Amino acid sequence: MTDRLPEGWELVVGLEVHCELATATKLFCGCPNAFGEEPNTNVCPVCLGLPGSLPVLNRRAVELAMRIGVALRCSIEPSVFHRKNYFYPDMPKDFQISQYDAPINRGGRLELPDGSVIGVERAHLEEDTGKTTHVGGTGRIGGADYALVDYNRSGVPLVEIVSAPDIRSSAQAHAYASELRAILVASGASDGRMEEGSMRVDANVSVRRTGEPFGTRCEIKNLNSLRSLVRAIEHEAARQVALVQAGGTVVQETRHWDEGEGRTLSMRSKEEANDYRYFPEPDLVPLAPDERWRSEVAASLPPLPAGRRAVLAGLFGGSPTQAQLDQIRSVVTSDLDRVVAGAVAKGAPAALALARTANEVAANAERAADLDLDGFSRLLLLEAGGELGATQAKAVLSELLERGGDPTAIAKSMGFESMDEGELREVVARVVAELPEEWDKFLAGDSKVQGALIGAVMRATSNSANGKAVTEELARMRSEARGAS
């Protein structure tokens, strides 16, 4: 990721993230909150907005919204639902129930893994709309032949998390969105799946000459992956700088990100923006969670990613390398930190447990939940002790993940029993005799050919030789040969 702004220019970004809450039912009715079902099957008079229907607030949704507030260190405040009035086919009531000037969560912060802190202005509750699909033509609204509406999503609970304009690079926006997603998942509030629309990001982007006041921002919609977020911010910032440098001015507007074309396009300017005519929702009472409920929610919050990363870092005496920090971040994000911690608790070396989990276990994440940590830790000890080479240990691990079992027995069944010394000497001597050039170089002190020699021994033994033992045997042969000459 690069920020391609010219010298002397600075980027300013604030993100608005919508996340669907992981409740069983919708925000104001008992319809299932489920993704991917047959269209218009999870609907009722309330979420279809039929006359006379009345909303009943989902307690669990309020709880999950409060969890998000606690996780983002917001203050949880008495809040009021408002009607946000606008007209669109996917919103059958012609208004969305949202929170306006009295949101449930205010004034929080999110600390990124690099230690920088982004302010959170608010995180409020609202209902999702239905989903419109434009059929025919380009698939966009203009030029489509007709539109289909699915109301299954209508009334699904959302929390909208609004950051302060504290973000200064596309990389930091990426870090903020991915840390926020990890927090939403770890807290149990949302599944955070951007590809299913559970987490959707709008980016407010402006540029300024360093040290000057904030410039006018544009809001970019339709960012449904972290990659799009980064690309859109970079593109939009470059567009604004070029515009200002050419003597123009940025107008505040909403822009659409076109992933295929790699650019943002104007959707509507502030002057044409809707007047939402907010007013308090008369069918719902104000929401004022008492102290007891708030502390129950705070106490029920599972450990969050930052704390979980600190626990793993602690396994390295608090001084992991940069590569290990990256691995720690990735295992926590993929919810595999308990695998590392579990293996280490059973005696496995931390660095190896982390590396194998971040790579091989993570690559087979569906099976990771069933991985026997005792067997995993014994396998890591076999590898650390040199009884199995890295390639062999990975093969045994793959079997352990697929079918389980005892690592020693699996290694044996794969023919990975360590060869006895006499057998190994014979093979190494034979391979060396077949590679006289390499051997001469090795004797002359060229350590680069060592890998080729070891590789040849591995091939000759179908990977059943132990790399460390081969290295030792080569060294022994070299000092013997040198002693003889």
Interacting residues with ligand ADP (CB under 6 A): 12-16, 162-165, 204-206, 214, 217
Least Å distance, CB 28 to ligand ADP, is: 24
Among 11, 31, 66, 470, binds Zn ion (CB under 5 A): 31
User: According to the binding rule CB under 5 A, does residue 34 interact with Zn ion?
Assistant: no
CA 129, CA 123: separation in Å to the nearest integer?
18
Among 1, 5, 12, 44, binds Zn ion (CB under 5 A): 44
Which of Zn ion, ligand ADP, none lies near 13, with the C-beta cut-off 5 to 8 A by kind?
Answer: ligand ADP
Choice between 46 and 184, CB closer to Zn ion: 46
User: According to the binding rule CB under 5 A, does residue 156 interact with Zn ion?
Assistant: no
Choice between 163 and 178, CB closer to ligand ADP: 163
Least Å distance, CB 206 to ligand ADP, is: 3
Among 11, 22, 27, 29, binds Zn ion (CB under 5 A): 29
User: According to the binding rule CB under 5 A, does residue 27 interact with Zn ion?
Assistant: no
Least Å distance, CB 282 to Zn ion, is: 20
Choice between 46 and 71, CB closer to Zn ion: 46
Which of ligand ADP, Zn ion, none lies near 47, with the C-beta cut-off 5 to 8 A by kind?
Answer: Zn ion
Choice between 17 and 65, CB closer to ligand ADP: 17
User: According to the binding rule CB under 5 A, does residue 232 interact with Zn ion?
Assistant: no
Which of ligand ADP, Zn ion, none lies near 431, with the C-beta cut-off 5 to 8 A by kind?
Answer: none
- Site residue total, Zn ion (CB under 5 A): 5
Least Å distance, CB 265 to ligand ADP, is: 19
Which of ligand ADP, Zn ion, none lies near 29, with the C-beta cut-off 5 to 8 A by kind?
Answer: Zn ion
Least Å distance, CB 13 to ligand ADP, is: 6
Contact, 234 vs 207, CB < 8 A?
Answer: no
Least Å distance, CB 400 to Zn ion, is: 46
Least Å distance, CB 237 to ligand ADP, is: 10
Candidates 465, 328, 454; CA nearest to 387 is 465
Choice between 31 and 203, CB closer to Zn ion: 31
Which of Zn ion, ligand ADP, none lies near 82, with the C-beta cut-off 5 to 8 A by kind?
Answer: none
Choice between 215 and 389, CB closer to ligand ADP: 215
Which of Zn ion, ligand ADP, none lies near 31, with the C-beta cut-off 5 to 8 A by kind?
Answer: Zn ion
User: According to the binding rule CB under 5 A, does residue 171 interact with Zn ion?
Assistant: no
Contact, 153 vs 130, CB < 8 A?
Answer: yes
Q: Tokens 């990977």 identify what position? A: 463
Choice between 86 and 214, CB closer to ligand ADP: 214
CA 407, CA 262: separation in Å to the nearest integer?
49
Q: List the x/- string, 46-75, binding to Zn ion by CB under 5 A.
A: xx----------------------------
Residues in CB range of 16: below 8 A, 6 or more apart: 160, 161, 162, 163, 201, 202, 203, 204, 219
Which of ligand ADP, Zn ion, none lies near 217, with the C-beta cut-off 5 to 8 A by kind?
Answer: ligand ADP
Q: Which residue number places its CB atom closest to ligand ADP? A: 14
Least Å distance, CB 46 to Zn ion, is: 5
Interface with Zn ion (CB under 5 A):
29, 31, 44, 46-47
